Amino acid sequence: MSVDVETILRDVHANPGAAAGIDLPYLHSIWAAVQQQLEEVMKLKKGLVVPNFGLFTFKRVEASLGTQGRKLIHTPIFYPQPGFCQQYGVAPCAQDSRSPLSNPITPIIVNLVAVGLAAGTSRQEAGSALKDVVRRAGEAASKGKTVHLDFGACAITISGRRFSTQWAASFLQAIRESDDREAVAHKALLRQGSRSMQLTADQVAAATADSTTAPVGGYRAPIVDRPSSQPKSRMLRQSRVAADVEQSRRMEEEQAAPRCRSATPSIVSCQRTASPVPRPRRAATPQLRPPTIPEDVSVLNFSSFDISAQDLPDRLNISSVPFAVSGSLNGRTQGTAKNSEYRKRRQHKAAYRLGRRKDYVDIWNSQIQQQEEVMQAEKERDKSLSLQTQQIVEREKEHEKKTKRDARMKALLVEQENVSLAGQRQTTAPAVFPMGNIFQDREAPVAAKTHVEYLREQIQGKAEQAKLERDRQIAIDNVLAARDRDAYERQQREERESKAATRRMVLAGLNEQVRQKGPKKRFQQETLDPNMSGNFFFKGNDQEMKEADKKERLARRSALKALQAENQLGLRAAKEQTKQEKQDAAAKERQQLAHQQQAYEEARSQERARRMVEKRAMREAWNSQVDERKQAVQASKLHDRSVRTVALWKNDSSDDES
């Protein structure tokens, strides 16, 4: 799937990012202005930087023309920005020794003010639109799509995450013709004799003043072999004479030529600064103007290729600027490149202010109002969403509270029902099987404990048992902490005592050595043998004494070092022993705790077994009593069936005897 500029512009208009509120025709105008600016800058042999996308520049190769001099060949290239490649996963261009980074050409950044003036928008809107176009192109390339970007002078294609550039044939032909004209200018300058020794970029520009595209900057002066036989002073003298002749000639031409007329002479002066080199004459650069869209043109059918010079309005024509010099409009303005650039900036600034005074104020105010309305709508939508979210949260909280309250009420009802059932069991008992203690008589029943009281007693017993267990563990921890603290204090005390003993021993040794040897004395000068005065290898008594003292000091030092090492070993051994003792004590404590825990578990298991036995005995006794009662009832029933019934209301003389 391929994506072109038209698709990207429609996508930016449908889903705007930073370029919110810009219509589709203005987006087309902005892209057309960028194309025109790229072609103009590249024809001037300069580079153009598209922010966050890449650099359009040249590779310069110097070719020799034999006796005719040298020629600079400019090859246009495109170098993508490394940040764009890293962000969207596109393969960067390979660098070599002739890359634009190692042999740079002066680049400039896209003039967003000129783009905005040409498109009828502001500088911020032009920058936002260009940023959105670059971002959408990168997103499409990161998804593996084929992206075609038409920059006018060149067409850039990103296919398979790789860049490919195709330059327009007309643009390449114009660059080749410009290189050929520069080579002819170099040849003409080489024929001027001694003046070729001081060739500069201004002379190169002056030689090509009659051409349609005057070069501006980025040139190398032709390399000319200086005659070795000619002295330097003579060369300087000839150059000064040539400069004076040139200055006088130019002054005569200025006096003979008519003075230029200006609308505001107080702002722009017609005087020229005398210079030994003629100034280049630059052709007037065509100014970018905003397009006028007819009412019968559909916005969907609008394309960047439908703009022509007739569609541009007259309100951005720099000829209407009151302080513009008339000579700059017909392409015959003379002056240095710096003055011409300054004049161009002033003209753009005047056109920008003139446009703002006319129609752009209403357009910008309407755009600002639309943007404020959009922001207000977004704020209201966010406010409504937050209010709905808050209401949902409150409903959830109310539902949760109601659920908890219902659960508490159900638990309370269940507890009340249990209490009432326990009371009924306590007050009422069946006629045959009484509840309560089975070993008591039926006439004096004992009330059984309710279910709630039994649970309370169980919980209270468990809490008391847990408290006793915690108290016992705390007591054990306190004992262990006290033992550790005592062991640490004992270790610190032993270390201090050992260090103090070591210091005392060292001081005692030093005092003994001082007492035996006595204090140091200065070496006295001794009279040397006159016969040995010229012998440089002779050692006197002083030298021997010094060497002996040095040896003795070294011996004492080595002894002290050995003593210190032995002391350190002793301290280390004591420390290791203390550490081992602490570890043994801790292991012993852990073993004792394990034994105590085991004994406690055994006691609990025995108590549990005893209780189980008691419960089993009580259950067996209950079952046996129930069985005996059943047998007694069964026997009484059988006895009642075996006894003959007697009719008490009949006598012996009755006829109905049975």
pLDDT tens per residue, range 353-388: 776 665 556 777 777 888 889 999 999 999 898 898
User: Which pLDDT score is estimated for 167?
Assistant: 92
Show the tokens assigned to 652: 């012996």
| 73 and 155 belong to one structural domain | yes
Residue 431: inside a domain, yes or no? no
pLDDT in tens, 526-577: 444 444 444 445 455 677 778 888 888 888 888 888 888 888 888 888 889 8
The residue among 378, 406, 429 that closes a domain is 378
The model's pTM is: 0.33
CA distance linking residue 542 with residue 544, whole number of Å: 5
Residue 251: inside a domain, yes or no? no
User: Which pLDDT score is estimated for 355?
Assistant: 64
Show the tokens assigned to 494: 């032993």
Work out the average pLDDT over 305-313.
44
Residue 528: inside a domain, yes or no? no
619 phi and psi angles, rounded to 5 deg: -65, -40
| 50 and 185 belong to one structural domain | yes
CA distance linking residue 111 with residue 97, whole number of Å: 30
- In total, how many domains does the chain have? 2
Question: Which one-letter amino acid corresponds to residue 113?
Answer: V
| 331 and 466 belong to one structural domain | no
| 198 and 83 belong to one structural domain | yes
| 471 and 575 belong to one structural domain | yes
pLDDT in tens, 613-653: 999 989 898 998 999 989 999 888 888 777 555 554 545 55
What is the sign, positive or negative, of the torsion defined by CA atoms of 318, 319, 322, 323?
Answer: positive
CA distance linking residue 534 with residue 522, whole number of Å: 25
Beta bridge partners of 281: 334
Work out the average pLDDT over 463-490.
89
| 19 and 147 belong to one structural domain | yes
Work out the average pLDDT over 272-294.
43
Residue 539: inside a domain, yes or no? no
| 289 and 154 belong to one structural domain | yes
Work out the average pLDDT over 103-126.
86
Q: Of all residues in the chain, what percent carry a pLDDT higher than 70?
A: 64
The residue among 583, 608, 633 that closes a domain is 608
| 370 and 477 belong to one structural domain | no
pLDDT higher than 70, residue 211: no
Range picked from 257-261, 353-357, 408-412, 541-545 for highest mean pLDDT: 408-412
| 101 and 220 belong to one structural domain | yes
Q: Which of the 8 DSSP states describes residue 21?
A: T
CA distance linking residue 158 with residue 147, whole number of Å: 5
516 neighbors 556 (Cβ within 8 angstroms): no
CA distance linking residue 305 with residue 313, whole number of Å: 17
Residue 110: inside a domain, yes or no? yes
User: Which pLDDT score is estimated for 450?
Assistant: 56
Give the mean pLDDT of the chain. 73
Range picked from 116-130, 182-196, 325-339, 344-358 for highest mean pLDDT: 116-130
Residue 92: inside a domain, yes or no? yes
Residue 416: inside a domain, yes or no? no
Residue 42: inside a domain, yes or no? yes
| 152 and 266 belong to one structural domain | yes
pLDDT in tens, 492-503: 899 889 888 888
- The beta-carbon contacts of 408-417 under 8 Å, at least 24 apart in sequence, are 415/452
Domain that holds residue 508: 451-516+548-608
pLDDT band at 186 (very low <50, low <70, confident <90, very high): low
Smallest CA-to-CA distance from 75 within 102, 63, 57 is with 57
| 100 and 203 belong to one structural domain | yes
pLDDT higher than 80, residue 202: no
pLDDT band at 19 (very low <50, low <70, confident <90, very high): confident
The CA distances from residue 371 to 62, 245, 366, 378, in Å, are 54, 65, 9, 11
**Residues ≥6 apart with Cβ < 8 Å to 110:** 34, 37, 48, 49, 50, 51, 130
Beta bridge partners of 71: 63
Helices (H) and strands (E) in the chain, counts: 12, 8
DSSP per-residue letters across 580-610 = HHHHHHHHHHHHHHHHHHHHHHHHHHHHHHH
| 363 and 489 belong to one structural domain | no
The residue among 378, 401, 427 that closes a domain is 378
Length of the chain as a residue count: 658
User: Which pLDDT score is estimated for 522?
Assistant: 45
318 neighbors 148 (Cβ within 8 angstroms): no
| 166 SS3 class | strand
